Structure 1
Amino acid sequence: MSTDALPIGLGCSRLGSVNGASGPEALAILQAALDDGIRFFDTSNIYAQGDSERLLSQVLGGRDDVIVCSKAGKFLSWKKRTLVPLKGLLRGVARRSGQARKGVASARAKPMPTRWDPAFLTASIDASLGRLKRERMEMFMLHSPDAEVVRRGEAVGALAAAAQAGKIGIVGVSVDDVACAEACLQDPRVRAIQVPLHPGDTAFDAILAEARGKGVAVIAREILGGPAAISGASDPRTYAAERIAEVILRPDVTLTLVGTTRLANLTASVAAARAATESSA
């Protein structure tokens, strides 16, 4: 990692998606993030049906000064797989119709099927490496497992085996609740956790303190609280800047994720992160 890297990472869940940025627009966002000092890129095998990883491969190539973090465990249902060839058509419809955009967002929010067996996870890692065109991912995570999945140990073991084989670096888990985070901190193979850190939510405070004590990296996501929280603020841009600075300055957070599909929002996030970093120096 470059010493000039900012303490924020780019969440790439909507890059390449029907309702997100695609093609040249998505590539421009990724290139701008890279140019602005962002060196952590968060993706998943299911983001944009794999196109998020493919877009990252076009901008990052084989660079060794970045951290690419992908995830596995979720997969597309047969119904969603049949729609993949129609993404271009669906994107055009969604951009012309607010109702269609809402429909896509509603479908996206529904729970996805999961698999946690080692064979599936190993195949998912190999597929992600292929789409990213990388020989190794610096970090790889289980994608929102239940606490019991982590406690059983087989899924974490599959990632640990991939690390031993040189396919991935840091083994991590993207968690949705405190119970899963607690299970992660009991497994010494887990060296990073990604947690939802909503404004005003203190549910993870004890977890973050314990992770810091154990040397487990904490990656904060969903820090702005979603579109409703941002649009409900009297000054959305100031709200976002202050929240980004607040999380960056927390000693129990290793890195803060920001996700956007607009260059202007990325520029504002980078400025907020840089200001917070300089004020703490």
Structure 2
Amino acid sequence: MQTRKIGSLDVSAVGLGCNNFGMRIDAVQTERVVGAALDSGINFFDTAEVYARGQSEEFLGRALGLRRSEAIVATKFGHPGSGPESGGRPASVRKALEGSLRRLGTDYIDLYQMHRPDPNVPIAETLGVLDELVKAGKVREIGSSNFSADQIQKAAEVLPEGAARFVSVQNEYSLLKRQPESGVLAECERRGVAFIPYFPLANGLLTGKYRKGQPVPQGTRLASMPPHNPLLTSENLDLVERLIAFSESRGHTLLELAFSWLLSRPTVASVIAGATRPEQVHANAAAANWTLSDADLRELDTILPRPL
């Protein structure tokens, strides 16, 4: 497994998104999935206090157990769904961190990420308390999530010399959602900030399980969503068919294309995809081995929708 940098952290190019833990799978199945990830060379695990109301962190911590030192654990704070006291205020951040440490069963977080910008708190205040937590040894690196290019720039500009800085941003990015190309990726490159794409498989649409003219497979994520799902449009399914044809003409799968296309971006550090079964973990871990040529990337640009 190739590794890339998030600040001082060496993370696997394929990571594991943990939002299924406690929501779609129980503690026993979580242990199987986490064990499969570690055995496949995946060391980067991304969760959040808001996932399954804290159960994701609990299940992940329990699953890692004595293998904690093999893992780079990333979690997030400050999502409005975490409760009325969540956000970027220093007292809220300190409280959130202690809760995450307790649920994860660890005394440090490798990458502590602000889940969403807080419009009610100056970013300098939030960065100040995060710097304290880094200096106290409770956090190794700090990151952001759902930040715009302007917000990334502002966070960098208010930092005092020597203070901890955001070393990553985690935003939605996939073959079907290219908005980060409209400014965020360029700002990351300028600032030396790693980019972590979430929903890299567009909720499973880019796995190849969903085909035009065929019923939605039962038990899948999209099958559990409301009818007239905005992802399962005729336009998207047409695009999926074109991407499958592109991949298969080169001896690869759509899953391999989804991972490898993201990893062709130099700012992308790790592609985090969720999994509910060990077989999915093994497939994801193996999917990043296709090095796309410049000609491949140019042809894909003629197929893919341009970012807005």
Contact 1:150 1:180 in 2 (8 A): no
Measured in 2, the distance between the counterparts of 1:182 and 1:48 equals 32
Look up the match of 1:9.
15
TM-superposed deviation, 1:186 = 3.6
Look up the match of 2:103.
131
Matched, 1:220 2:197: yes
Measured in 1, the distance between the counterparts of 2:256 and 2:155 equals 31
Counterpart secondary structure, 1:153 = helix
TM-superposed deviation, 1:240 = 2.3
1:260–1:187 Cα change, 3 Å:
farther
Measured in 1, the distance between the counterparts of 2:58 and 2:133 equals 21
- Structure 1 gaps of 5+ residues are 79-111
Look up the match of 2:268.
253
Counterpart secondary structure, 1:41 = strand
Number of residue pairs matched by the alignment:
242
Look up the match of 2:39.
35
Look up the match of 1:240.
255
Matched, 1:70 2:75: yes
After superposition, the C-alpha distances for 1:151-203 in whole angstroms (9 at most, x for unaligned) are 53212222121111111011111115444344344455222211211324443
TM-superposed deviation, 1:56 = 1.4
Counterpart secondary structure, 1:276 = coil
1:184–1:137 Cα change, 3 Å:
same
Question: TM-score when scaled to structure 2?
Answer: 0.69
Measured in 2, the distance between the counterparts of 1:246 and 1:187 equals 34
Look up the match of 1:108.
none
Matched, 1:45 2:16: no
What amino acid is the match of 2:43?
R
Look up the match of 1:104.
none
Measured in 1, the distance between the counterparts of 2:86 and 2:30 equals 28
What amino acid is the match of 1:210?
E
Q: 24, 32, 36: which one pairs with 2:28?
A: 24
1:260–1:185 Cα change, 3 Å:
farther
TM-superposed deviation, 1:264 = 2.6
Measured in 2, the distance between the counterparts of 1:64 and 1:27 equals 16
TM-superposed deviation, 1:276 = 3.1
Look up the match of 2:63.
59
After superposition, the C-alpha distances for 1:208-245 in whole angstroms (9 at most, x for unaligned) are 23322322222111122224565343459932221111
Question: TM-score when scaled to structure 1?
Answer: 0.75
1:138–1:175 Cα change, 3 Å:
same
Contact 1:185 1:211 in 2 (8 A): no
1:126–1:212 Cα change, 3 Å:
same
Matched, 1:174 2:145: yes
Counterpart secondary structure, 2:130 = helix
Contact 2:49 2:77 in 1 (8 A): yes
What amino acid is the match of 2:180?
F
- Structure 2 gaps of 5+ residues are 4-9, 160-164, 211-236, 294-308
Measured in 1, the distance between the counterparts of 2:280 and 2:179 equals 28
Measured in 1, the distance between the counterparts of 2:200 and 2:158 equals 26
After superposition, the C-alpha distances for 1:17-62 in whole angstroms (9 at most, x for unaligned) are 1xx1112112101110111010000011111111111111122235
Q: Which has the higher helix share?
A: 1
Measured in 2, the distance between the counterparts of 1:163 and 1:38 equals 25
Q: 129, 138, 160: which one pairs with 1:158?
A: 129
Q: CA RMSD in A?
A: 3.0
Measured in 1, the distance between the counterparts of 2:198 and 2:158 equals 22
209-218 vs 165-174, which moves further: 209-218
Look up the match of 1:262.
277
Q: 178, 181, 188: which one pairs with 1:211?
A: 188
